[in-house]
C-alpha cells in the first residue's frame, strides 16, 4: 500500500487582551479637621477621623495620572482601625489646593452637600466604596469623609504605613482598535497538483475577538498579477491541474467590531504537475504483514505493521515498524486499549529509529459512532503529546457500510481530516466473481484530495 503524507502546520493567533485595565493610586495627602479645635492641623496623625458631634471631617487627595481610556469605575479603599455601627460617607471636594500639614477647620474646602457613597456599619479592616461619579480622568481628586457618629470613625493614613494608606483603584475601558497585521500569513504544503496547501492567519493586534476569512489567489510566476479563485475561501486549498505553472497566494481578512484589515502571504513556488505515478512513494507500507517481513521487503515494502517495539527493533535493515496499539470498537464506540496502556507503549518507543509511528485503528465506523473522528483525533493528539516526532495512522472502511462499494464509504472521508497523520483509504475495487470498479477507486481518491486527506 502506498502512502503520501501532507504535514499541516497550524496558524498562530494573537492572544485575547482585556478591554479594561485598572490602576491603583496611593493618597498624596490625608488629614482631618475638627470644629472643636478650628485652628488645629492633624496632617501628621496615623488616622483621619470623622464624627458628627463634635464635628470632624477627613480629607484625602490622590494624584491620578497615566489613564489611557475612559473611567468605567473608581473605588476608594480605606482601612478602618476600629469598628463603627454608624460608619462614614464620602463626599466630593472640588478644591484640591488644601495642604496636608496646613488644612484646618477654618480653611478647609467645603465638601459636597450630598454624599456619593456610604459604608454603613463597619468592622476593622478594608472598606471599599464606589466613587465613580467623582473621578473623571487624570488629575488631582479630593474626597471628604463625614459621619454622624458620636464616637469618631478612625481610618488609617499614609502616615500609619504604606501598606494601610488610602487607595484609589481606577478602572478604565480601553478604546477599541481595529485589527492591524504584525506578521503576514504563511502558506505551508507542497506546491504540486493534488496536494493541499494550508494557511495560518498571521498575527494581528487589535481588540479581541478577531475573526479571520481566507481567499486563495492564483498568480503569475512573479506573484504580482493575481486573481481570486471562486469558492476557495477555506483555510486549506487543494491544488488542481488548473494551478500548474502558477504561484499561489492567500489573502487573510481579519475583522472585529471596530473594522477589518487584510494581509497577503508571500507567493508559493510554481505549482508542479501531479506525480506521473511512475516513481515509487517514499514509504511502501505492508500492513498485517509482520509474519514475513523479509518477503514483504523483497516485494518492495519499506514499512511493516508490527505488534510491539521489540518487533520493530527486530526488523531487517531497511524496514521500519508501524506499531499496532489496539483497535476502536464500533459496537461500544470506545477504544480497546486504555490511554494509560497506550501512553506506556508510546513512551517506551520515543527516539527508537525503527519505530516510524503507531497504527491506532482499522476501519472505524462514523455512522455507528458519530464521535469516532473526534476520538481518533484525541488519540492522535495524545500520542503527539508524548512524542511529537512520531506519526499516527488509521485505515478507513472504504468499501461501504450499507453494501459493497457504496456511496457512504466515499461520503465519510472528509469526516476524518485531522484524525491522524496518515490515513489509509484501502478500497477493494475488485471483488471475487464481480467486475472491477475502478471508477469507485477514482471517486474515492478525488474525494480525499478535495478534503485534504493525507493518504
Question: How many helical (H) and strand (E) elements, i.e. helices and strands, does the chain have?
Answer: 6, 29
Looking at domain 283-451, what is its CATH homologous superfamily?
Aldolase class I (3.20.20.70)
20-173 placed in CATH 2.60.120: yes
Give the residue extent of every domain in the chain: 2-16+177-264, 20-173, 283-451
Q: For 331, phi and psi rounded to 5 degrees?
A: -90, -45
- 353 with 317: CB under 8 angstroms? no
- Would you call 268 exposed, middle or buried from its count of C-beta atoms within 10 A (0-12, 13-18, 19+)? buried
230 Cβ contact list (under 8 Å, min separation 6): none
Q: Which grid coordinates belong to 224?
A: 504580482
2-16+177-264 folds as Immunoglobulin-like (2.60.40)
Output the tens digit of pLDDT for each of the chain's 455 residues. Answer: 333 332 222 233 333 344 788 999 999 999 999 999 999 999 999 999 999 999 999 999 999 999 988 899 999 999 999 999 999 999 999 999 999 999 999 999 999 999 999 999 999 999 999 999 999 999 999 999 999 999 999 999 999 999 999 999 999 988 788 999 999 999 999 999 999 999 999 999 998 899 999 999 999 988 999 999 999 999 999 999 888 889 999 999 999 988 999 999 999 999 987 775 544 444 555 555 556 777 777 777 778 888 899 998 998 888 888 999 999 999 999 999 999 999 999 999 999 999 999 999 999 999 999 999 999 999 999 999 999 889 999 999 888 888 888 888 889 999 999 999 999 887 777 776 677 777 777 788 888 888 898 87
**Rounded CA separation 4/2 (Å):** 7
Provide the whole-model pTM. 0.43
- Collapsing DSSP to helix, strand or coil, 41 comes out as coil
Which residue is associated with the grid cell 497566494?
A: 249
Q: Say how many C-beta atoms besides its own lie within 10 A of residue 140's C-beta.
A: 14
DSSP 109: P
**Rounded CA separation 144/223 (Å):** 68
**Cα dihedral 66→68→74→77 (10° resolution):** -30
Q: How open is the CA angle 151-153-157, to the nearest 5 degrees?
A: 145
Amino acid at each position: 500500500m502506498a502512502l503520501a503524507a501532507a504535514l499541516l502546520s497550524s496558524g498562530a493567533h494573537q492572544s485575547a487582551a482585556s478591554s479594561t485595565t485598572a490602576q491603583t493610586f496611593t493618597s498624596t495627602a490625608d488629614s482631618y479637621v475638627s470644629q472643636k479645635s478650628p485652628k488645629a492641623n492633624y496632617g501628621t496623625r496615623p488616622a483621619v477621623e470623622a464624627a458628627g458631634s463634635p464635628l470632624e471631617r477627613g480629607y484625602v487627595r490622590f494624584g491620578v495620572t497615566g489613564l489611557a481610556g475612559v473611567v468605567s469605575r473608581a473605588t476608594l479603599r480605606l482601612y478602618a482601625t476600629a469598628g463603627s455601627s454608624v460608619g462614614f460617607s464620602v463626599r466630593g471636594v472640588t478644591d484640591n489646593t488644601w495642604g496636608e500639614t496646613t488644612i484646618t477647620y477654618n480653611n478647609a474646602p467645603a465638601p459636597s452637600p450630598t454624599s456619593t457613597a456610604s459604608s454603613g456599619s463597619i468592622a476593622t479592616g478594608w472598606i471599599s466604596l464606589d466613587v465613580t461619579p467623582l473621578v473623571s480622568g487624570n488629575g488631582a481628586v479630593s474626597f471628604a469623609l463625614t459621619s454622624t457618629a458620636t464616637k469618631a470613625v478612625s481610618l488609617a493614613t499614609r502616615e500609619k504605613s504604606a501598606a494601610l494608606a488610602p487607595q484609589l483603584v481606577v478602572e478604565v475601558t480601553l478604546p477599541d482598535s481595529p485589527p492591524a497585521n504584525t506578521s503576514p500569513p504563511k502558506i505551508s504544503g507542497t506546491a504540486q497538483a493534488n496536494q493541499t496547501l494550508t494557511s495560518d492567519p498571521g498575527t494581528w493586534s487589535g481588540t479581541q475577538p478577531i475573526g479571520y476569512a481566507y481567499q486563495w489567489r492564483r498568480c503569475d510566476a512573479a506573484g504580482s498579477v493575481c486573481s481570486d479563485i471562486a469558492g476557495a475561501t477555506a483555510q486549506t486549498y487543494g491544488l488542481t491541474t488548473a494551478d500548474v505553472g502558477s504561484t499561489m497566494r492567500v489573502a487573510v481578512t481579519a475583522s472585529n467590531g471596530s473594522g477589518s484589515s487584510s494581509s497577503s502571504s508571500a507567493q508559493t513556488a510554481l505549482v508542479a504537475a501531479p506525480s506521473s505515478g511512475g516513481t515509487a512513494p517514499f514509504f511502501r507500507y505492508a500492513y498485517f504483514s509482520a509474519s514475513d517481513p523479509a518477503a514483504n521487503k523483497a516485494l518492495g515494502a519499506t514499512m511493516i505493521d508490527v505488534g510491539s517495539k521489540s518487533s520493530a527493533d527486530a526488523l531487517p535493515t531497511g524496514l521500519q515498524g508501524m506499531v499496532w496499539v489496539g483497535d476502536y470498537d464500533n459496537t461500544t464506540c470506545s477504544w480497546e486499549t486504555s490511554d494509560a496502556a497506550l501512553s506506556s507503549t508510546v513512551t517506551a518507543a520515543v527516539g527508537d529509529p525503527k519505530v516510524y509511528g503507531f497504527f491506532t485503528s482499522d476501519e472505524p465506523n462514523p455512522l455507528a459512532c458519530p464521535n469516532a473522528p473526534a476520538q481518533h483525533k484525541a488519540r492522535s493528539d495524545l500520542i503527539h503529546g508524548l512524542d511529537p516526532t512520531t506519526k499516527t495512522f488509521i485505515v478507513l472502511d472504504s468499501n461501504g457500510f450499507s453494501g459493497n462499494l457504496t456511496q457512504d464509504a466515499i461520503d465519510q472521508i472528509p469526516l476524518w481530516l485531522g484524525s491522524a497523520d496518515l490515513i489509509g483509504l484501502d478500497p477493494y475495487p475488485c471483488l471475487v466473481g464481480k467486475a472491477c470498479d475502478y471508477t469507485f477507486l477514482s471517486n474515492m481518491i478525488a474525494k480525499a484530495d478535495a478534503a485534504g486527506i493525507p493518504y
